[in-house]
Structure 1
């Protein structure tokens, strides 16, 4: 049977107190609405339409990679009106349409699939996602008859005192038979306390027409919408717990999940140990057997097997097997660190390749450089890659030894097996196997201090 989906994302989200449309706020590194879209797509529902309104262009931009269509709700006149705005999307279609909210990122792939399957297998005209809450607050109430069948949904502001006590609430997410939904939308009115067109009224209309309405109960956390920065933080906690649990089930060791922050798309291998305070972002891949000591930030990077990273930042880079990084290293974008290498404390690497077995142990800057294998950088080495207008490249061969406090002024080449004397400033090519010393000759002026200050 044909399936499609509509996502309601036209609300202004005033309580978010933000210039960013509500549905574009991120939970664990991904926009809320894109969580919803991706879970829908994971259930083989390809035809997805998003109803946009406030901040429409920003929402288009934030979802453009998802290959979806859009409907526009110029005036926010209720959820029923929002679906009316998507009638063109539904016309000519038959089958099922699932309706979700763009600010409900905690809905799971499993629940999306169960909702549609339950709806179609039961041959319902409409199916509602519901949940039981001890304190339902301002959610709409599910009103059932004596036989336990759904009769209607009543919005909180329209509830009678008896209806307010009902604990089964409406999630605002549904599945409908497309033709039944289209036939009913024209019958909606705004004769209510809000003066809005409620999508919930469709349920009562269908029941009065003798149509079959079902409901499926899910955990309340899945249907919780985000309407404020406080609720956004709560959603982040729930999503983070899910993500961390998944990685632990797949073989990672997370010492303290509550203080470990892993984005939705990160991949982690078996037996990798992650200490508290780690922030793993973007499309990062951490392979088997790594150790991430506390307080690293790793973003869009690949960390090969058996790497140790300690209190460091790695951005858009690759780290080879058995390499150690940190503490307090800064690996900037477009850097590639080889196998069995050492990037030590207070070392900064920028847009450079570091060969296998090379050691950069401390207090060193390497920028725009190509470094070979088995090299050694002494403490305080600086590659001087910027001349005030342009970045220039330095090429360093294999088995090069660079003494402490050396400056390599780019562009410059150090060929294989060369030595650089400590304190040198190198501005010209150093041939293979050579020792380069570029510093003033030491001169000792005896008794100079005594003469100057008459201290003899």
Structure 2
């Protein structure tokens, strides 16, 4: 395939999102929408230039590690104006350009490659990507002549009642010959309801100049649906969620009830692991082979579950390594921890990792047995094969030695705990003796 460049439009606010953030930074299954489009562009072989504007500091933050150039649209004066803003980054480029919207997170690389190859085969000045949908409200319509040739693209706000009945929509994706695109952009005018420079207005300009314009109608309309509001964001998220679950199941992971399981893009799960209902796995998480998660678990970013480990009902983990064969089966919070092999984490265990200013780590070594209701006030550690009694409070900077048993609030070694209990009993007896003696004197 020939050399290609992509222009990704990511400068708009997205008014219908009703958000302080730019639309393209809203996440679909844990990944900002614009990152999906960047990844697809790179996978198809088109190095992207990302046009940013409104809230650009937020967009820059989510794309800072991407292999992409950045162009700034200082004023948001429409999609045509946004493409013009990328001219400086592509001034010396003379090949083909694909223009993409940063709010289309469902598109696949093979579809983009198909579009690019279709454009190469006929070498038109422009190729419009279209699809047909049942409810085209909000989308630009493709207007064709009696022979099926494209005449123009009309935005929904500017469409006549007759044009609004058309269900072939403009996906917002175009392939251009770069020289024809720049020349046509110089001639468009903001003569529309929004008084903006619309990219679709280059189509009649090209046709009037005698250039050839093609249209590629894509069969899978779902891939090209943009996200304009929170309802569409939820719809796109649900579609991606189902695809993620299908990918894991195809790779040998059992997901007992996909309808009640949420797994984000960056999650890795090994074969023969089982994910039970009402489980959320979010962020960068690695789950090994033969693990069990759920039901009602929340596995957060930074968690690594090693082979044959288990995280059970109503448990939450974050930035914690759960060692091979280790089990935390009930009602526990494990944050900022390192847990060794074959440890048992009793019901109600808490890693109290935050002191109001900073977060600290809890370490539990191989073979440790944590009693129910134990609270670790980090930083602290528990040695190999050590034991805590039910309800133990392991205070800050405590280091439980290997094989030791700690009880109490605050937790102390068993011998010390027994001595303390004995002392308390003696004190109680002495108190009763004195009370009895005082009563006898009366």
User: TM-score of the superposition, structure 1-length normalised?
Assistant: 0.86
What secondary structure sits across from 1:326 in the alignment? strand
In the alignment, which residue of structure 2 is the partner of 1:80?
80
Counterpart of 2:292?
Answer: 291
1:207: which partner in 2?
A: 207
**Secondary structure at 2:417's aligned position in 1?**
coil
Q: In the alignment, is the contact (CA less than 8 A) between 2:340 and 2:365 conserved in 1?
A: yes
Counterpart mapping for 1:140-179 below 5 A? 140-179=140-179
Contact 2:130 2:215 in 1 (8 A): no
- Cα offsets for 1:313-360 (capped at 9, x unmatched): 111111111111131111111x11111111121112341221111110
Map residues 369-448 of structure 1 onto 2, 5 A cutoff: 369-385=380-396, 393-402=397-406, 404-405=407-408, 407-408=410-411, 420-421=414-415, 423=417, 437-438=419-420, 441=423, 442-443=425-426, 444-445=429-430
Deviation of 1:449 after TM superposition, in Å, equals 6.5
> Structure 1 residue 264: deviation in Å?
0.8
Q: Is the alpha carbon distance of 1:121 and 1:305 closer, same or farther for their aligned partners in structure 2, counting shifts above 3 Å?
A: farther
Mark the CA change 1:453 to 1:197 in structure 2 (over 3 Å): closer, same or farther. farther
> Offset at 1:293?
1.8
Q: Which runs of 5+ in 1 are unaligned?
A: 386-392, 410-418, 425-436
Partners of 1:338 and 1:103 lie apart in 2 by 43
- CA separation in 2, counterparts of 1:134 and 1:238? 18
Match of 1:216 in 2: 217
Displacement of 1:221: 2.2
Q: Does 1:361 align with 2:368?
A: no
CA–CA separation in structure 1 for the residues paired with 2:420 and 2:37: 62
Is residue 331 from structure 1 mapped to residue 334 from structure 2 by the alignment? yes
Contact 2:362–2:381 at 8 Å: present in 1 too? yes
| C-alpha displacement of 1:5 | 0.9
Q: Alpha-carbon deviation of 1:302? A: 0.8
Name the TM-score, length of structure 2 as normaliser: 0.89
Rounded Cα–Cα distance in structure 2 between residues aligned with 1:75 and 1:101: 17
Q: Given that residues 115 and 216 in structure 1 are in contact (C-alpha distance below 8 angstroms), is that contact kept between their aligned partners in structure 2? A: no
Check whether the contact 1:119–1:214 (CA below 8 A) recurs between aligned residues.
no
**Structure 2 portions without partners, runs of 5+:** 354-360
Bigger drift between 338-347 and 156-165 goes to: 156-165
- Is 2:308 aligned against 1:306? yes
Aligned counterparts of 1:67 and 1:158: Cα–Cα separation in 2: 37
Q: CA 1:116–1:400 in structure 2 vs 1: closer, same or farther (change >3 Å)?
A: same
**Post-superposition CA distance 1:89-148 (Å, at most 9, x none):** 221102221111112222223322222222223433322221111221131111233443
1:82 & 1:423 partners in 2: Cα distance?
71
Alpha-carbon distance, 1:362 to partner: 0.9
The whole-number CA distance in structure 1 between the counterparts of 2:288 and 2:29 is 20
Return the alpha-carbon distance in structure 2 between the equivalents of residues 422 and 252 of structure 1. Answer: 48
Question: What is the DSSP-based 3-state SS (H/G/I as helix, E as strand, rest coil) of the residue aligned with 2:171?
Answer: strand
SS at structure 2 position matched to 1:200:
helix
SS in 1 for 2:372: strand
Give the drift of 1:177.
Answer: 1.6
Secondary structure of the equivalent of 1:75? coil
Measured after TM superposition, the shift of residue 149 of structure 1 is 3.2
User: Contact conserved, 2:150 with 2:213, CA < 8 A, in 1?
Assistant: no
Q: Residue 33 of structure 1 contacts residue 103 of structure 1 at CA under 8 Å; is this kept in 2?
A: yes
Q: Distance in 1 between matches of 2:369 and 2:384?
A: 9
Write the distance in 2 (CA, Å) between the matches of 1:15 and 1:178.
32
